[in-house]
Amino acid sequence: MWRLKLSKGDDDPWLTSFNNHTGRQFWEFDPTLGRDDQEQLLVDKARSDFVKSRYELKHSSDLLMRIQFAKKKKASEVDVPVQVKIGKGEEVSEESVVTTLQRALRFYSTLQAEDGHWPGDYAGPLFLLPFLVISLFIMEALNTILPEEHRKEIRRYLYNHQNVDGGWGLHIEGRSGMFCTALNYVTLRLIGEGMDGGDGAVSKARTWILDHGGATYIPSWGKCFLSVLGVYEWDGNNPMPPELWLLPYFLPMHPGRMWSHCRMVYLPMSYLYGKRFVGPINGLVLSLRKELYAQPYHQIDWNSARFQCCKDDMYSPHPLMQDLLWKCLNTFAEPLLMKWPLSKFRHRALRSVMQHIQHEDETTNYLCIGPVNKVLNMLCRWIETPNSLAVKRHLSRIKDYLWVAEDGMKMQGYNGSQFWDCVLAVQAIIKTNLPCEYGVMLQRAHHFIKSSQVRNESCVDWSSWYRHSSKGGWPFSTTDNGWPVSDCTAEGLKAALMLSQLPAEIGGEAIEVEKLYDAVDLILSLQNSSGGFASYELTRSPHWLEMINPAETFGDIIIDYQYVECTSAAIQGLKLFNKMHGEYRANDIESCIHKALDFIESIQLADGSWYGSWGVCYTYGTWFGITGLVAGGKTYENSSSLRKASHFLLSNQLTSGGWGESYLSSQNMMYTNIGKNKSHMVNTGWALLALIEAGQANRERGPLHRAARVLVNSQMANGDFPQQEISGVFNKNCMISYSAYRNIFPIWALGAYLNNVLRPSRD
Ligand code: LAN
């Protein structure tokens, strides 16, 4: 039986932590549990139910965790009032909303960990497991780090998410592409599947690859990983020169000016490229060289393969200028840098790159900023010294990225979404204004928030490692990851302030005011001259640099752009802080908010919406746009932006009363409903919150009532809400799961509906 373990180091001598593993979550297989057990039956049923509807609902419902938690709670603790359903044309009564919220809060409280966070599945992309498996294979650590029980769950996951045509998409809901089809095919073969494994699934995947021109058509990140494995040639890659790191910083293309994720992924990639590293060649590798291509491996024209990319993967085609740049570098620069005397530069560059890799490892407790550089850094450290302490520390942190649900074992997009979910959950719970239902939830969450703040800079000379200041910030996942994010910090500030307003017996002890000052300092330091806020750092280079984006599958990766979400969160956090602590930097805060408001208005789209970059999509962006403007003092009456935004939302409300936005909105940058005009509870929550915020209750209440009814009626018998289509996104084209949203947003929106619409006088 699989067991979720929380906030534990498990006496692993190679692990380090800044705060005693607060928020850490990982799964372990315990062979002694589960035989003939009731729990095992539930798990089996969840698994087979998933398989049955896997083409209709591709998102798993995180049931293994829920089954485990339900077992832990005594019957009396999960005692829930009788469910309510509201008929067509029937009024939504205050009582029905209160009952729905009580049921929802009682259920949600059973999912909270003792340290105060709500664990959950943060997977979705399908290119991450292959990166891990390929690296472990090369390091000869595959079978020790992923023993048979793990590999069994990985097989389950991959087969569950294979499309009907035999391929895999970039993420669980995407159409097939060469990137994930070739990589997952290789993964299955490396973890022991035969050429005809999986009841024909493996050969079906191979047919997909060959029908689409063979693996030379894999996008650039795939080319890099296949080269490392030895099933593709380095000559078939465009240059990724490590020498970029030696350029003077004033040049716009200096890696130090790029988006932290982009910089951190191309750092180890440039190491592998600079060394032309290839792992040990064995029989399986030689066989893959035959399986992946239609023509014999030695006859492949690697020079033209450099520019090949399957059209089903193509999201950001290279501009002509970029390809010319690669041609020049490849023809003139690379040959010189590989030979004496210029090879001296290459060696120096590789040394410098390795120092940056080490620095990233050590400042993040070997978690690294994300899943891609985690795995690549690990491989680079292994190439440097196979038995080093660093490699051991890396291996110990792999389980932080793995998650098990009824669809199998997956690799997550981060080491979790602990902090982010926690601060949103706190705001949702407080909004219900049902203190009798809070129990210990808020105190625990408050503890988690306080213990997750980043207390120190990443190191003494952080800026020479191209880091922004960290002190006072909050991360997206855990403190051990160590990279603060602008909006996580702002939402953290907001949640901490709200909690400090509650009586101590409900909210727990307030955070020290100096720690709030640190958060405010950090937020203020993250504002760009245009007024907008980016994600981790300031925007350090101009937009045109996106021209050199080599990753065909992603958009907007080169620099840290400014987002409506991050900017709105900053306004909200600073405004609330200023109301409660007018003594600190009031002038700076005022001018910051002023500029941020202008920025938000300047990026509003013609139809009144905002494009949300991290959630799907216009409902998400518009919720942030509206809340930012309202927090900054705008009203429906005095702001045409708010009027336009409200109109936008109302005009997209479905006849059922909900909203349901497809992930295609993010990808195509055009509002698109989910098929059959289905409502999605998370979109409905965002839209309802936004409309209430914009004062819709003072105008026409019908749309609010209809939306609330959809939310109430969607609740399940146990107080949970259904998992629907995937809700998160990054880099425009790749979707990611926010498993906690299905609980958080119905609660939050119904809380706002109850207190601001049904009984505003008592608010
Ligand atoms: C995240 C997750 C959190 C997210 C929010 C805080 C929600 C957002 O408001 C700001 C941006 C941020 C921090 C964010 C950025 C991009 C991330 C890190 C991710 C979506 C999680 C995974 C993704 C990362 C880039 C995935 C690795 C893939 C690459 C293309 C490098």
Q: Give me ligand 1 centre to Cα 731, in Å.
A: 8
Please work out whether the CB of residue 730 comes within 6 Å of at least one atom of ligand 1: yes
CB of 263 within 6 A of ligand 1: the answer is no
Distances (CA, A) of 328 to 308, 332, 334: 17, 6, 9
Dump pLDDT digits (tens) for 598-621.
999 999 999 999 999 999 999 999
**Token match 């550089």: residue?**
373
**Residue 569 Cα: closest atom of ligand 1:** 9
Give CA–CA dist 204/196, Å, rounded. 9
Q: Is 560 a catalytic residue?
A: no
Is 485's C-beta closer than 6 angstroms to any atom of ligand 1? yes
**Strand 2-6 relative to strand 25-29: parallel, antiparallel, unpaired?**
antiparallel
Which of the following is catalytic: 312, 400, 487, 560? 487
**Rounded to the nearest whole angstrom, what is the distance from the C-alpha of residue 71 to the centroid of ligand 1?**
33
pLDDT at 37: 83
pLDDT classification of 10: cutoffs 50, 70, 90: confident
Q: Choose the residue to mutate in 258, 373, 485, 553 for probing ligand 1, maximizing ligand atoms within 8 Å of C-beta.
A: 485
**Measuring from atom 12 of ligand 1, which residue has the nearest CA?**
535
Amino acid, res. 341? P
CB of 614 shorter than 6 A to ligand 1 = yes
- Average pLDDT across the chain, whole number: 96
First to last CA, the chain: 47
Going by CA atoms, what residue is nearest to atom 19 of ligand 1? 730
For the ranges 66-80, 206-220, 496-510, 708-722, the lowest mean pLDDT is seen at 66-80
In short, whether 414's Cβ falls inside 6 Å of ligand 1 is yes
Residue 536 CA: which ligand 1 atom is closest? 13
Structural contact between residues 625 and 600, judged by C-beta atoms closer than 8 angstroms: yes
Residue 612 tokens read as 């949300």
Report the nearest atom of ligand 1 relative to the CA of 730.
20
Which residue has the CA at smallest separation from atom 31 of ligand 1?
261
Confidence class for position 81, pLDDT limits 50, 70, 90: confident
Residue 30: exposure state from Cβ atoms within 10 A (0-12, 13-18, ≥19): exposed
Tell me if 179 CB under 6 Å of ligand 1: no
Q: In ligand 1, which atom is closest to the CA atom of 369? A: 18
Under the banding of pLDDT at 50, 70 and 90, the label for residue 761 is low
- Cα 181 to averaged position of ligand 1 atoms, centre (Å): 23
Ligand 1 pocket check for 415: Cβ under 6 Å: no
Taking only the tens place, the pLDDT of each residue in 266-286 is 999 999 999 999 999 999 999
pLDDT band with cut points at 50, 70 and 90 for residue 33: confident
Question: How far is Cα 184 from Cα 673, in angstroms, rounded to an integer?
Answer: 30
Q: Residue 313 pLDDT more than 50?
A: yes
Is 753 within 8 Å of 97 (Cβ atoms)? yes
491 CB less than 6 Å from ligand 1? no
From 535, 623, 741, the mutation candidate for ligand 1 (largest count of ligand atoms within 8 A of CB) is 535
Residues linked to residue 239 through DSSP beta bridges, in sequence order: none
> pTM for the full model?
0.97
320: which residues sit within 8 A by CB, 6+ positions away?
Answer: none
DSSP 469: P
Query: Is 603 in contact with 572 (CB distance < 8 Å)?
Result: no
CB of 493 sitting under 6 A from ligand 1: no
123 lines ligand 1 (CB under 6 A): no
Separation of 474 CA from ligand 1 center, angstroms? 14
254-259: long-range contacts at Cβ-Cβ below 8 A with a sequence spacing of 24 or more? 254/541, 255/466, 256/466, 256/540, 257/540, 257/541, 257/545, 257/559, 258/540, 258/541, 258/545, 258/558, 258/559, 258/560, 259/535, 259/536, 259/537, 259/557, 259/558, 259/559, 259/560, 259/561
Lowest average pLDDT, out of 53-57, 68-72, 153-157, 743-747, goes to 68-72
Q: Quick one: what percent of the chain has pLDDT higher than 90?
A: 95
Whether the predicted pLDDT of 762 surpasses 70: no
Paired tokens of 295: 């023509």
Using CA atoms, how far apart are residues 494 and 420, in angstroms rounded to an integer? Answer: 12
Ligand 1 neighbourhood includes 265 CB (under 6 angstroms): yes
Residue having the nearest C-alpha atom to atom 17 of ligand 1: 730
Band of residue 71 on the pLDDT scale cut at 50, 70, 90 = confident
536 Cα: distance to centroid of ligand 1 (angstroms):
10
Is 736 close to ligand 1, i.e. is its CB under 6 Å away?
A: yes
Query: What is the Å distance from ligand 1's center to 276 Cα?
Result: 29
Least confident range from 7-11, 377-381, 455-459, 643-647: namely 7-11
Task: Enter the tokens of residue 2.
Answer: 């699989």
Is the distance from CB of 722 to CB of 658 less than 8 angstroms? Answer: no
Q: Which of 129, 262, 614 to mutate to test the pocket of ligand 1 (most atoms within 8 A of CB)?
A: 614
Cβ atoms of 425 and 446 closer than 8 Å: no
Q: Tell me the CA–centroid distance for residue 688 and ligand 1, in Å.
A: 25
Tell me the three-class secondary structure of 75-119, residue by residue: HHHHCCCCCCCCCCCCCCCHHHHHHHHHHHHHHHHCCCCCCCCCC
Looking at residue 38, what is its pLDDT? 87
pLDDT at residue 763 in the model: 44
Query: Which residue's CA is the closest to the ligand 1 atom numbered 20?
Result: 730
Assign 188 a pLDDT band (cuts: 50, 70, 90): very high
pLDDT digits (tens, 9 = 90+) for 713-750: 999 999 999 999 999 999 999 999 999 999 999 999 99
Residue showing tokens 């620099």: 559
Q: How far is the centre of ligand 1, averaged over its atoms, from the C-alpha of 41 (Å)?
A: 36
With a 6 Å cutoff on the Cβ, whether 589 touches ligand 1 is no
Q: Is 373 in the pocket of ligand 1 (CB under 6 A)?
A: no
Task: State which ligand 1 atom lies nearest to the alpha carbon of 264.
Answer: 31
Question: 34 pLDDT band (50/70/90 cuts)?
Answer: low
- In short, whether 476's Cβ falls inside 6 Å of ligand 1 is yes
Question: Long-range contact list for 699-702, CB < 8 A, 24+ apart?
Answer: 699/636, 701/757
- Check residue 75 and give its pLDDT: 46
Q: How confident is the model at residue 74 (pLDDT cuts 50, 70, 90)?
A: low
- How far does residue 346's CA lie from ligand 1's centre (Å)? 31
Q: Which atom of ligand 1 is least distant from the CA of 488? A: 6
* C-alpha distance from residue 16 to each of 232, 389, 467, 507 (Å): 37, 12, 21, 30
The answer to whether the peptide bond before residue 341 is cis (omega within 30 degrees of 0) is yes
Helices (H) and strands (E) in the chain, counts: 30, 8
Residue 370 Cβ inside 6 Å of ligand 1? The answer reads yes
Let me know the angle formed at the C-alpha of 692 by 686 and 693, rounded to the nearest 5 degrees.
Answer: 85
What pLDDT, in 10s, does the model give residues 40-57? 999 999 999 999 999 999
Centroid of ligand 1 to alpha carbon of 369 (angstroms): 9
